[in-house]
A and B are shown apart, each in its own frame.
Chain A
């Protein structure tokens, strides 16, 4: 019997074990290269800051995550995480609810589309970071300025995503709901919204990547706490032993949120992506 290749070529069908092994390989490689490099550099110069050793990073994590700060008495990593999550959460909530509303109405009502499409396209081209100074001047350097940056950075994307999704719903479906007695005001929220809800979640997932960029950028410029604030603060001391665990932590948070949203879509919307 001819053998199906496991790894190479268009016909490859990796088996279960090989699949896991292949998925792990890049991670192992990265960690291996890091610790090899770290060991090599530290053996030449024990005070080297670039690639700190594992025990050094563990110490920093204990200091930032589990020991109250001397000045404020707070657990810094927890405090940073909560303030950052509050900012990104508020920003995304705002942009997804407003994006949903505008995208939905643009897709359904042609009059509203004529009114807003060009404007939304125009706004979406403005580089959000370029107007950060304007936002800081207008809304202050506190939380509101940062939330507005996240909002302006992600909302046009969500509007356009929702608009395109609504546009793709065949006109027959709207006619069908009118023949079943739907009133005009029921079409967006009773007929179309439930159909695009999983798409909205997908859209939020994609815009979260951008939201993190805006969060960290704004925190790095003016803030008193937050994950982005911390890594840019300790950068002054070349404290890679703090930066690396923080980056891993941010990545982990991002991964968990993404995973959670995928899970919600899969479990609550079994009909999504099916014909």
Chain B
């Protein structure tokens, strides 16, 4: 394991000793996590074990009870444009057309005068992107007129167009049918390959997590420590932290990889370590193999 200070200096996002409790209910306990620029980090864990809470802490919708979150070594506070977010729902504003939804970020960050003089230029830029994802003909439609997949493509454009340092996604494809979902996974991988942006992607689908990510975290309450194995009293921790590129060096768009033996076995292992209530690892034995992994005990 590396020295924490070096990680903080090297990486774009750094969480040190982050706790979150609501009243007496501890949700997250001692989350240590450092993420390098350009990484596609997927995050899995049983439902109700604090994945979304962790996301809210990172984007600044809530502040941690204790511990620090740094973005490029600066203490991160409430939400700002450094951190973009794509939700499963509510990413798009119902009263704005596709075009206006995507333009919103730029409109908000410009003075009305600047906005008026640059508007047509930005519109052209958005049209160019919309054309690439076959949504140009829908630019005047409202979100309720779009299919789920279209909506998420618009939401991703809306987030990326203002170039956030990190993009967080909370089960963005969770409500899509399997076919659309696979299309969206490939679309996202292409975008990531093009822009080399830093992504944290929450999903409850292990297959999706292993397929998309370069790094995988499992956040789970199923572990044991010296206080015993009473899961009700302790919060979730990072129990698995893997460098997925070591397992699969796949070509982008090769969805066939999902049927290989390595892929299957890896999923079995992740499921055992994070999702099995009867398989409780001690905190000293967590599977934290990623080079950037660290643990403050």
A-to-B contact residues, CB < 8 Å: 170-173, 175-183, 186, 190-191, 194-195, 269-271, 274-275
User: A274 with B108: in contact, given A181-B81, A269-B95 (CB under 8 Å)?
Assistant: no
B74-100 vs A, Cβ < 8 Å mask (1 yes, 0 no):
000011110111010111011110000
Partner of A180, one of B78, B89, B142, B158: B158
Q: Which 8 A-B pairs rank lowest in CB-CB distance, beginning with the nearest?
A: A178-B79, A181-B109, A180-B105, A274-B144, A172-B90, A271-B142, A175-B61, A181-B81
A138 to B: closest C-beta gap in Å: 40
A166 to B: closest C-beta gap in Å: 14
Given known contacts A173-B90, A175-B56, A178-B79, what 5 new A-B pairs fall within 8 Å (CB)?
A171-B61, A172-B61, A172-B87, A179-B85, A274-B94
User: A176 with B85: in contact, given A171-B61, A195-B95, A269-B95 (CB under 8 Å)?
Assistant: yes
B79–A179 touching, CB < 8 Å: yes
B26 at the interface (CB under 8 A from A): no
Q: Which residues of A contact B96 (CB under 8 A)?
A: 194
B162 at the interface (CB under 8 A from A): yes
A228 to B: closest C-beta gap in Å: 38
Partner of B81, one of A172, A179, A271, A275: A179
A109 to B: closest C-beta gap in Å: 14
A182–B144 touching, CB < 8 Å: no
A255 to B: closest C-beta gap in Å: 28
State the CA gap A49–B81 with chains docked (Å).
74
A170–B142 touching, CB < 8 Å: no
Q: Which residues of A contact B158 (CB under 8 A)?
A: 180
Q: Which residues of A contact B104 (CB under 8 A)?
A: 177, 180
B83–A275 touching, CB < 8 Å: no
CB pairs A–B below 8 angstroms (16 shown): A175-B85, A178-B60, A179-B59, A179-B80, A180-B84, A181-B80, A181-B105, A181-B162, A191-B93, A194-B95, A195-B93, A195-B95, A269-B95, A270-B142, A271-B94, A274-B94
User: A180 with B143: in contact, given A195-B94, A271-B94 (CB under 8 Å)?
Assistant: no
B85–A173 touching, CB < 8 Å: no
B112 to A: closest C-beta gap in Å: 11
* Contact residues of A: prevailing secondary structure: helix
Q: Which of B140-159 contact A (CB under 8 A)?
A: 142-144, 158-159
State the CA gap A274–B79 with chains docked (Å).
28
State the CA gap A178–B80 with chains docked (Å).
5
State the CA gap A183–B81 with chains docked (Å).
10
Q: Which residues of B contact A170 (CB under 8 A)?
A: 89-90
B164 at the interface (CB under 8 A from A): yes
State the CA gap A275–B89 with chains docked (Å).
10
Q: Which residues of A contact B60 (CB under 8 A)?
A: 175, 178
A182–B94 touching, CB < 8 Å: no
Q: Which residues of B contact A182 (CB under 8 A)?
A: 108
A110 to B: closest C-beta gap in Å: 14
State the CA gap A270–B109 with chains docked (Å).
27
| B94 to chain A: closest residue by CB | A271
Q: Which residues of B contact A176 (CB under 8 A)?
A: 85, 87, 90-91
Q: Which residues of B contact A274 (CB under 8 A)?
A: 94, 142, 144
B81–A180 touching, CB < 8 Å: yes
B83–A179 touching, CB < 8 Å: yes
Q: Which residues of B contact A270 (CB under 8 A)?
A: 142
Q: Which residues of A contact B80 (CB under 8 A)?
A: 178-179, 181
User: A175 with B105: in contact, given A180-B81, A270-B142 (CB under 8 Å)?
Assistant: no
Q: Which residues of B contact A180 (CB under 8 A)?
A: 81, 84, 104-105, 108-109, 158-159, 162
State the CA gap A170–B94 with chains docked (Å).
12
A271–B108 touching, CB < 8 Å: no
Q: Which residues of B contact A175 (CB under 8 A)?
A: 56, 59-61, 79, 85
Q: Which residues of A contact B109 (CB under 8 A)?
A: 180-181
State the CA gap A73–B216 with chains docked (Å).
86
Q: Which residues of B contact A269 (CB under 8 A)?
A: 95
Q: Which residues of B contact A178 (CB under 8 A)?
A: 60, 78-80
A178 to B: closest C-beta gap in Å: 4
| B110 to chain A: closest residue by CB | A181
| A170 to chain B: closest residue by CB | B90
B93–A173 touching, CB < 8 Å: yes
State the CA gap A275–B84 with chains docked (Å).
23
| A274 to chain B: closest residue by CB | B144
A181–B91 touching, CB < 8 Å: no
Q: Which residues of B contact A190 (CB under 8 A)?
A: 108
Q: Which of B94-129 contact A (CB under 8 A)?
A: 94-96, 104-105, 108-109
A190 to B: closest C-beta gap in Å: 7
Q: Which residues of B contact A186 (CB under 8 A)?
A: 108
B53 to A: closest C-beta gap in Å: 13
State the CA gap A112–B270 with chains docked (Å).
47
